[in-house]
Structure 1
Amino acid sequence: MAAFEVRGGQKLQGEIIPQGAKNEALQILCAVLLSPEPITISNVPNIRDVNKLIELLRDLGVKVGRVAPDTYVFQAEDVHIDYLDTPQFVAQARELRGSVMLLGPLLARYGRAQLPKPGGDKIGRRPLDTHFVGLEKLGAQLTLEGTDFYRLHVTGKLHGASMLLDEASVTGTANIVMAAVLAEGTTTIYNAACEPYLQQLCRMLVRMGAKIQGIGSNLLTIEGVESLGGTEHRMLPDMIEIGSFIGLAAMTGSEITIKDCQIPELGIIPDTFRKLGIKLEFRGDDIHIPAQEHYELATYLDGSILTVSDHTWPGFTPDLLSIILVVATQAKGTVLIHQKMFESRLFFVDKLIDMGAQIILCDPHRATVIGLDRQKQLHGITMSSPDIRAGVALLIAALSADGKSTILNVEQIDRGYQNIDERLNALGADIRRV
């Protein structure tokens, strides 16, 4: 098990380029199974979850060529569908949450798919019902073995259907879209997710020959086609990394410029950080965060304390609430953090309290943060990273803290952040991997 030794209190300065989007990559990589023709994908992040999915695709028989450090060519011309029956596939799929999005492409093109309950962060209940209900409405038959192994098959071809999703699940919408593009007839999906990454997937499929209307809205209409061709696709920068770097600059009082951010795709993320009192300057497509000694939380017009909560897009992404919470610990003022989607995601606050933060965990979904306004600096401790986003939040806290911190289980951070220690050290951080 790897760990980070972090010596905090360093001012950071310089430019940093965000990696390709992890959550987009997991969708796009699964979509290569829909066509026998070559598909070139660039800005692929070099992170554990993505690399594991690429390895799984290669073991399924997909030809994988790496033509540049961040660019791959995939060709699913001869997929070994029987690999699904092997213990190796089961072990690989269990390690990776994104493996669930293999179901739609495999079912659409090969008529069968199966999967053990996928892994991923332990952040609370993450049911897969939306995926299976949608695929069943397209004509798939589901068999559940025990409580954690799923088999899907279809007799003949999938057929279009009208459906109203019970939740606007991003991965659920992606799975259903990837199945529907090769189904017979027309599919309408109400309450579809409309995140930029889902839009990216849909646009890529359209370039491959799919017929999708309503991209960017919560109503998608898909007219099935016989087959899809190849294409080239470049992934967006990772909005979660961009938000993490904004929070890092604020917490450490540093001056950082984040390059090539695709600002129009960030939604309300910049304005949410501005509500914490953080100054942001847009310079073309770059975001410049000037060094700030103090930042003050906004209040509502009637003077009541600010609430920051997650919501489906275009609301605030739940993946950045951990960063918002940490940044608020050194702000002036009080904020209520409301994590609606996952009931275990706030449990890392006990480590922040041990570091000296003033946080009241109201219940599994809500925490009240009383900002210290830098009057009392956090101090270093030994802690463990419970999931990707909390792990980076703790790293940001450690970089702002007095003394040395040790963060265990940093493999969780590596799942979502590319060479984070090396990239932050280039800005002046003091992080040692041990």
Structure 2
Amino acid sequence: MSIFKIEGGHRLKGEIVPQGAKNEALQIICATLLTASEVTIHNIPDIRDVNKLIFILGELGVKIKKLDTNSYSFQADDINLEYLESLQFKKDGSSLRGSIMIVGPLLTRFGKGYIPRPGGDKIGRRRLDTHFEGFIKLGAKFRYNKEESFYGVEADELHGTEMLLDEASVTGTANILMAAVLAKGETIVYNAACEPYIQQLCKMLVSMGAVIDGIGSNRLIIQGVSNLGGCIHRVLPDMIEIGSWIGVAAMTRSALTIKNVSWKDLGLIPNVFRKLGIELQQIDDDIYIPSQESYEIQGYMDGSILTVSDAPWPGFTPDLLSIVLVVATQAKGSVLIHQKMFESRLFFVDKLIDMGAKVILCDPHRATVIGMNHESSLKATTMSSPDIRAGISLLIAALSAKGTSTIHNIDQIDRGYENIDERLRSIGARIERIESTF
């Protein structure tokens, strides 16, 4: 188990190229199971969660070629379905939440899809009902082994239908969408997630021969086809990582340029950081954050405290609320952070309080942050990363703190951020990865 040792309080400077989007890559890689033809994907992030999914596909029999660090080709023309019922798969699949998205492609192409209860972040309950209710409406039979926490769906043939999702689940929408593209007839999905990554999946499937209308809306219409072909696809830059780099710049009072961010796909992210008082400049497709000695939170027009809350796209992504909370600790003014979707995601604030931040945890979903306007620096400490987003937030806090901090359980950070320590050092951060002997 590795740890990060961070000497904080230093200003950074330079350019950062964001990695490929983790959440898109997990969907896109699963979609390669829909065809026997070769699919080439560029800009795949080299991170633990994505690499684990690629390993699972390899065990399934997918022919995988690594073309360079971030590009792969996949060909699923000789799938080993017996692996799905093996003890090894139950172990492999249970450690990665994204593995749930292999079920839709396998079900629609091979008539069966199995998955152990997937793991991932400990940020609260994330149920799978949306996925399996969608499969059942398409004609699949569902079974669940409670003793082994093992899910299965089977069908001789899937048939198009109308369905209203009980929640706008991103992974649920992706899974149902992939199942529907090879189902017989028309499928209409209401309350579909419409994040840029779902739009990217739709565009990829269309390039493979799928027929999908309503891309970018919450009503998707899919005309089933008999088979799909290959394609070449490029993954978008990761909007969550882009928001993380904005947080790094603000907390360390540094001037940074984030390259090629795909501004049109960032939604509310720039505006939310601007409401915290952070200056962002658009230069072509880059974000430039100048060095700021102070940034002031904007209140509402009636003088009440600003609230930043998460919501399905085009609302603000829940994955950036932890970073917004950390950034607010050194702002001028106060803000209420309202995490609606996950009941355990704010529990990392006790570590920030230990560092000297003024945060009041109101309940599992809400925290009030009283900014210190950089007048009182955070204090270095020893802490542990509970999940990907809290982990990067604590790392950002450590970069701004006076003294040397230690972060344990950094495997959680590596699940979502590619070579984060090397990239931070490239812009002047003093961070060291130490291999633990425990």
The interval holding the TM-score normalised by the smaller chain is over 0.9
What is the alpha-carbon distance in structure 1 between the residues aligned to residue 152 and residue 190 of structure 2?
A: 25
Shift of 1:375: 1.0
1:408 maps to amino acid:
H
1:70 maps to amino acid:
N
What is the alpha-carbon distance in structure 2 between the residues aligned to residue 230 and residue 204 of structure 1?
A: 10
Deviations 1:333-372 (A, max 9, x none): 0000000000000000000000000000000000000000
What is the alpha-carbon distance in structure 1 between the residues aligned to residue 39 and residue 368 of structure 2?
A: 47
2:110 maps to amino acid:
Y
Aligned to 1:218: 218
1:92 maps to amino acid:
D
What is the alpha-carbon distance in structure 1 between the residues aligned to residue 92 and residue 257 of structure 2?
A: 38
Gaps spanning 5+ residues in structure 1: where?
Answer: none
Aligned to 2:52: 52
What is the alpha-carbon distance in structure 1 between the residues aligned to residue 265 and residue 87 of structure 2?
A: 40
Aligned to 1:413: 413
Aligned to 1:347: 347
2:2 maps to amino acid:
A
Deviations 1:146-187 (A, max 9, x none): 162111101x21000100000000000000000000000000
Aligned to 2:96: 96
What is the alpha-carbon distance in structure 2 between the residues aligned to residue 409 and residue 242 of structure 1?
A: 23
What is the alpha-carbon distance in structure 1 between the residues aligned to residue 375 and residue 258 of structure 2?
A: 28
1:267 maps to amino acid:
G
Gaps spanning 5+ residues in structure 2: where?
Answer: none
Deviations 1:191-225 (A, max 9, x none): 00000000000000000000000000000000000
Provide the aligned length of Structure 1 versus Structure 2: 433
What is the correspondence of 1:16-415 to structure 2 with a 5 Å cutoff? 16-146=16-146, 148-154=149-155, 156-415=156-415
Tell me which stretches of 4 or more aligned residues in structure 1 moved more than 2 Å: none
- More deviation in 141-150 or 107-116? 141-150
What is the alpha-carbon distance in structure 2 between the residues aligned to residue 343 and residue 26 of structure 1?
A: 24
1:3 maps to amino acid:
I
1:153 maps to amino acid:
E
What is the alpha-carbon distance in structure 2 between the residues aligned to residue 63 and residue 110 of structure 1?
A: 17
Shift of 1:232: 0.3
What is the alpha-carbon distance in structure 2 between the residues aligned to residue 168 and residue 24 of structure 1?
A: 16
1:187 maps to amino acid:
T
Shift of 1:9: 0.5
Instruction: Give percent identity, aligned residues only.
Output: 66
TM-score (norm 1): 0.99
What is the alpha-carbon distance in structure 2 between the residues aligned to residue 388 and residue 430 of structure 1?
A: 21
Shift of 1:96: 0.3
1:399 maps to amino acid:
L
What is the alpha-carbon distance in structure 2 between the residues aligned to residue 48 and residue 79 of structure 1?
A: 23
Deviations 1:245-285 (A, max 9, x none): 00110000000000010010000100000000000010000
What is the alpha-carbon distance in structure 2 between the residues aligned to residue 59 and residue 196 of structure 1?
A: 30
What is the alpha-carbon distance in structure 2 between the residues aligned to residue 306 and residue 248 of structure 1?
A: 22
Aligned to 1:14: 14
TM-score (norm 2): 0.98
Q: CA RMSD in A?
A: 0.5
What is the alpha-carbon distance in structure 2 between the residues aligned to residue 390 and residue 280 of structure 1?
A: 23
